[in-house]
Structure 1
Amino acid sequence: MLEHDLVFPAGFAALPRLVRLAPRSAEARGLAGKILERAAGRHGCDDLLADCAGAIAEFGVVLDRHLRSRPADYLGSFRALLAVEEEYHWANALEGFEDDINHVDCPHCGVAVTIVIGGFGCYSETWDGGEGLRRDLRPAAAEDLTGTSRWMHQIAVRDGQEVLADGIAHLFGKAECPRCASVFSVADEYTSANRPVLR
């Protein structure tokens, strides 16, 4: 049903059954989540996906209930919930913020900037010869988050996922380019560099 970043018609056909099994099966939850994470791709199954609208809505309820129990598979289920809400980019891109390292270009001077969020710290970095130049990231305050970022953060906070909530605040915060000192949105530049191809 899945192959790398592809999903086949059988995957969407199986989705209603997987959702029925999802409340008591981690495997069914995981597989249904993976199918939905790939729903933005070029699969040619728009009609099949539309037919699954009821099952997808039901899956969202199952996932929300599951996340409230603070399970071991929290991140996978959180990503699946993002896919249910058609936030396919973040469903595919979001990591656990334990040691995330991402690469973007400064939108002002074009220099390659490494964005680090996790146990190593939260900073932007460029290299000047053999010397690394670092600047601390500026996390967004919870009250300044809007739309999807606010919803993501609120769920993580609700469920006691401190590392995830802190990572989301940094992801949707600001970075300073260590080379030119301009300030830019981490999420905007990360999205520009990593947005998956939509159908």
Structure 2
Amino acid sequence: MTIALEDRLVLEYDLVSPASFTALPHLVRLATSSTRARSLAGWILRRAAGHHGCDDLLAGCANAIAEYRALLDRHMQSRPADYLETFIALLAVMEQYHWAAALGDFTDDFYELPCPHCAVDVTVAIGDHGRYAAIRDWHLGDVDRRDLRPATPGELSGTGHWMYETAVRDSQGALADGITYLFGKAECPSCASVFSIADEYGSANLPILM
């Protein structure tokens, strides 16, 4: 099976299908020497969330997925040019689909989420233009900005701790710093309540299982 044929199997109509998972073990075998195969395998896993029947398909590929996870981790330790893409693929392998879909390089990242206390829509910015919570006005821009409060490394736990420690291990300073803000706290510009950015974003964006 060629990579071109696999492209058609997994990319047509932007759907995840049984054919995608049939191709997955073969892609993983090729992934050590093929950037395209490694990328396609990650594409399949990133789109597995919420698709009917994917749990059974994932279970059937458990050995290939475990091999792929180890391969991605080794690749990241080489500090490759595609580090962020690999990091995101590894999040998908860990079934952290909402972060795999949303995580950027923290140069110009924005997260939209409702305040858990007053339900107003809050824009959280983490990037070169600032690290703040604000109310987005389409004429005035981001108004009433409130500085974010980053988490300390010792405060991180679970997925946030893994993300931070992995980025530090691999000398990805900008990514590690951004993660401390992503898993930190924001102040709502409307009601001044303080809340966890990651908790609210995660609860608003967890995949709907079918």
- TM-score, structure 1 as length reference: 0.92
Deviation at 1:3, TM superposition (A): 4.7
Q: Deviations over 1:77-130 (max 9, x none)?
A: 111111112222212222221101121121112222110001111100125895
Q: Conserved in 2, the CA contact under 8 Å of 1:7 and 1:43?
A: no
1:27 matches 2:36: yes
Structure 2 counterpart of 1:169, from 148, 161, 180:
180
Residue matched to 1:106: 115
Distance 1:145 1:5, change over 3 A: farther
Distance 1:27 1:55, change over 3 A: same
Structure 1 runs (4+) deviating above 6 angstroms are: none
Task: Give the paired residue count.
Answer: 199
Residue matched to 1:83: 92
Identity of aligned residues (%): 63
CA distance in 1, matches of 2:54, 2:158: 28
Distance 1:4 1:79, change over 3 A: farther
Within-5 A mapping of 1:88-99: 88-99=97-108
SS at match of 1:196: coil
SS at match of 1:60: helix
Distance 1:39 1:150, change over 3 A: same
Gaps of 5+ in 2: 1-9
Residue matched to 2:152: 141
One-letter code aligned to 1:89 = H
1:38 matches 2:47: yes
- 118-127 vs 17-26, which moves further: 118-127
Q: Conserved in 1, the CA contact under 8 Å of 2:52 and 2:209?
A: no
CA distance in 2, matches of 1:158, 1:184: 28
Structure 2 counterpart of 1:52, from 43, 56, 61:
61
CA distance in 2, matches of 1:4, 1:141: 42
Distance 1:135 1:49, change over 3 A: same
Within-5 A mapping of 1:176-187: 176-187=187-198
Calculate the aligned-residue CA RMSD, in Å.
1.9
- 187-196 vs 53-62, which moves further: 187-196
Residue matched to 2:167: 156
Q: Deviations over 1:121-141 (max 9, x none)?
A: 110012589581011100110
CA distance in 1, matches of 2:111, 2:119: 15
Residue matched to 1:64: 73
SS at match of 1:126: strand
Distance 1:56 1:125, change over 3 A: same
One-letter code aligned to 1:123 = Y
Q: Conserved in 2, the CA contact under 8 Å of 1:173 and 1:185?
A: yes
- TM-score, structure 2 as length reference: 0.88
Q: Conserved in 1, the CA contact under 8 Å of 2:28 and 2:64?
A: yes
Residue matched to 2:200: 189
